[in-house]
Amino acid sequence: MTQTLETATESNLYSKTKENKKQTKVKRWLEGRFAPVGIEINGDKPWDPQIHDSRFYDRLFREGSVGAGESYMDGWWDCVELDELFNRLLSAKLDVALKTKWAFIKHILVARILNLQNQKRAWQVGEAHYDAGNDLYQLMLDDTMAYSCGYWQEADNLHQAQIAKLDLVCRKAQLQKGERVLDIGCGWGSFSQYAAQHYSVDVTGITISKEQQQLAQERCKGLPVDIQLKDYRSLKGKFDKLISIGMFEHVGPKNYSAYMKSAHNLMKDEGIFVLHTIGSAVSQQGTDPWIHKYIFPNGAIPSLTQISQSCEPYFVIEDVHNFGPDYDRTLMNWQHNFEQSWAQIKHLYSERFYRMWNYYLKTCAGAFRCRNLQLFQLVLRKRHSQLPRYSSPR
């Protein structure tokens, strides 16, 4: 019996020693990549990560971005300026090194084999993210309830930036009184409401979120706006102008061409289609596994190449406008609002959710800051439509 206990103790000590050696190896590997971009583990700079649990290293090594995000959610590490930490990490291409891990490879393989954004799966996004609760978004966003990048060219605050974005889209679409406008992925009705109020157009907005539909209907009451709970693939009719703001990220590579075909069929020959979407600096099939698991199920960020290739059979690209750095500022404003309002809603959510949401907002801000992510606005018109030269406003 004594010998059995001694053997078990020796085995546990051996396993612990082996684990400690592995953690030390991972830590040294990280330190070697952190140093060139001014990051120090447990350092005194606001972007230095503070590691509270040494198991973090093994979790990061085994699970990549999912391990990094979940260990943060679990309180294994902290960082005051997560946004700047990720700006530096992504600039050092540490994400590329971690993408060799199984979690990312598995997600890419699944994305290539399956259509993660088919019509049935598309509703998962509405249920998982946009139905989280209108109270959260009403406190985090500005009064327009626009959940997309603001336009900060002449704006001093978030509300001004969102109004500027909405008006910019209206001007790019050359909206005229009485036109029929389709708002694909209308959210809480920010564009639909603004366009109907200020440009006297009739708007049909579609969303796959019940929470969004309900609030959008309330916000647009009394206006010529029809908010429908519908996927773009099941819509019929013809519209003068098409608008898609912050929705194309949920379409997926396997559906890009079908999406453009649907837009082509829904738009009149002389129409204009304004597409506003987050963009990736490189073409890829999937997205970050942590974002996929916790924030946007089945999402995918398109590259400009992927967008243009899907457009080729249907549209001429009249204008491309990239103001990606404005999303960094937008996200940091949302994070500030969320932080300031947390006391009002903390009884509805867990501490783990609080950490998850901060991690989401700040790490995405860092990705825009280092220009891994872009914000594209494209103006599209039908091929062979023989329309006059297009001049885009800024």
Structure tokens at 25: 């190896």
Q: Which positions ≥6 away from 78 have C-beta within 8 Å?
A: 49, 50, 52, 72
Contact predicate 236/353, CB 8 Å: no
Q: Which amino acid is at 293?
A: K
Alpha carbon separation from 196 to 1, 226, 293 (Å, rounded)? 82, 11, 36
Among residues 79, 170, 311, 364, which one is catalytic?
Answer: 364
Q: How far apart are CA 283 and CA 304, in angstroms?
A: 8
Residue 155 backbone class (left: φ over 0; alpha: ψ -120 to 50; beta: rest):
beta
d(CA 307, CA 300): 12
Rounded Cα distance, 345 and 323, in Å: 32
Query: Distance (Å, rounded) from C-alpha 335 to C-alpha 328?
Result: 11
Q: How far apart are CA 115 and CA 265, in angstroms?
A: 22
Residues 6+ apart with CB under 8 A from 171: 393
Residue 8 CA, distance from chain mean position: 49
- In order of 142, 145, 268, the CA distances from 275 in angstroms are 22, 19, 16
Residues 6+ apart with CB under 8 A from 175: 181, 195, 199, 201, 241
Helix/strand/coil for 28: helix
Contact 238/268 with Cβ under 8 angstroms? Answer: yes
364 as an active site residue: the answer is yes
Active site residues: 364
